[in-house]
Amino acid sequence: MVTATLADQLSLPNGAVLPNRIAKAAMSEQLGDRANRPTEDLDRLYDRWGRGGSGLVITGNVMVDRRHVGEPRNVVIEDDRDLPALRRWAAAGRAGGAALWVQVNHPGRQAMRIAGAKPVAPSAVAPRIPGAVTPRALTGNEIEEIVARFARTAAVVREAGFDGVQLHGAHGYLISQFLSPRANVREDDWGGDPERRRRFVLEVLRATRTAVGDDFPVAIKLNSADFQRGGFSEEESVDVVVALAEAGIDLVEISGGTYEAPAMMGQARAQPQRASTVAREAYFLDYAVRVRERAPQLPLMVTGGFRSLAAMQEALSAGACDVIGIGRPLALHPDAVAGLLDGSRTRVDAGSRALGVRTLDSLIDLVWHTRQLQRIGRGRDPWPREHAIHTLGASLLANGWNVARRRRGG
């Protein structure tokens, strides 16, 4: 077996090629305008990341329905009305040679309550998140309409000049809700057992593939598990991955948790991590190995926890994954991947900010990283010395106490 290195190209099942094995994972930028259109700040941010060395750059949440957004300044793509701005964004992110994919999403019950639009979900089950409301259960016709929205958004993304799309099927958003027996208690064709719960994601994949063609990469970000009792389990997740592989997915990014149990940020676990997992840094490598056994030809991306060059290379060499995803560290060090590839940098750290108040610290850390992205978007460098009190004060000034309900990650 030939051992892969971080600098190696990766050929995807549909023939597309990634320039190397490091990906900038999705982080919600909050850089759309108040009408949810792309801005020049996004151009500047993605130009910086696109020239920073990553073979693949994945955007933060782009929503398919402006009535249902996760945060007030998510970009929304429903049709081609913003095509010139989207083309400008795509050109900026691709100028440095990286492949640029758009993360496509619907928040479902995690939507921000705006203009009287009540959040929708597979079932009328509220998430255990402060400020959350009980959503309205979708009808069958509405579900099919949302499937069509995913496909339409992907078609516009291709027309704008991006290189691929990633469906967001993790972290408690709509696709994840359909998969979870906690959130989806339907007894019709869209729920009731694992096969019917996975119907939605498979229909979204099929519709998206039809809309963009076989030569345009379609990937997914998927939970390894929800890390909640009675939720989406690892066993069911592996079965979903196998079904996606059979349906023609090009890459699966492995994550985990929801905003009720945020394992994707290292804050929750179904069980203590083994020492070998801690040594390997990444949160979800053990699960990736299980997936590899069931779907050996499917390209896998693991995101969450990678910090050292040695751990990244070991994960590739062991065959646990094919792509290393890096998120929050690139908010502070947007050019770090080039150093990892040429060996001048041996690790990259995310930094953190906290006040020692448990109910606030995860929010402060997330907002602190988001503010670094926004600084880059304004043409400035990150500010790693910004104090947690400054972060909290600035966010409260901009958003009021709703900041606690509105902030999401990628």
CB atoms under 10 Å from CB of 229, counted, come to 8
**How does the average pLDDT of the chain come out, rounded?**
89
What percent of the chain has a predicted confidence (pLDDT) above 70? Answer: 87
What pLDDT shows up at residue 227?
62
Provide the token pair at 200: 């939605």
**What is the distance between the alpha carbons of residues 323 and 312, in angstroms, rounded to a whole number?**
9
What percent of the chain has a predicted confidence (pLDDT) above 90? Answer: 72
Q: Return the minimum-mean-pLDDT range out of 207-221, 288-302, 389-403.
A: 389-403
For residue 171, the 8-state DSSP code is B
Top-ranked range on mean pLDDT: pick from 274-278, 340-344, 348-352: 340-344
pLDDT tens sequence across 298-319: 999 999 889 999 999 999 999 9
What pLDDT shows up at residue 367?
85
- The whole-number average pLDDT for the span 36-51 is 98
What pLDDT shows up at residue 69?
94
pLDDT exceeds 80 at position 350: yes
pLDDT tens sequence across 262-282: 444 444 333 444 444 444 467
Sign of CA dihedral 307, 313, 316, 320: negative
Residue 31 CB contacts under 8 Å (≥ 6 apart), including other chains: 39, 41, 42, 45, 73, 75, 373, 374, 377
What pLDDT shows up at residue 275?
45
Q: Return the minimum-mean-pLDDT range out of 87-96, 280-289, 322-331, 392-401.
A: 392-401
Domains, the chain, in order of start with CATH, read 10-351 (3.20.20.70)
- Give this prediction's pTM: 0.91
Q: What are phi and psi of 314, to 5 degrees?
A: -65, -40
Between 396 and 248, name the one with better pLDDT: 248
**Residues 191 and 123 sit within 8 Å (Cβ to Cβ):** yes
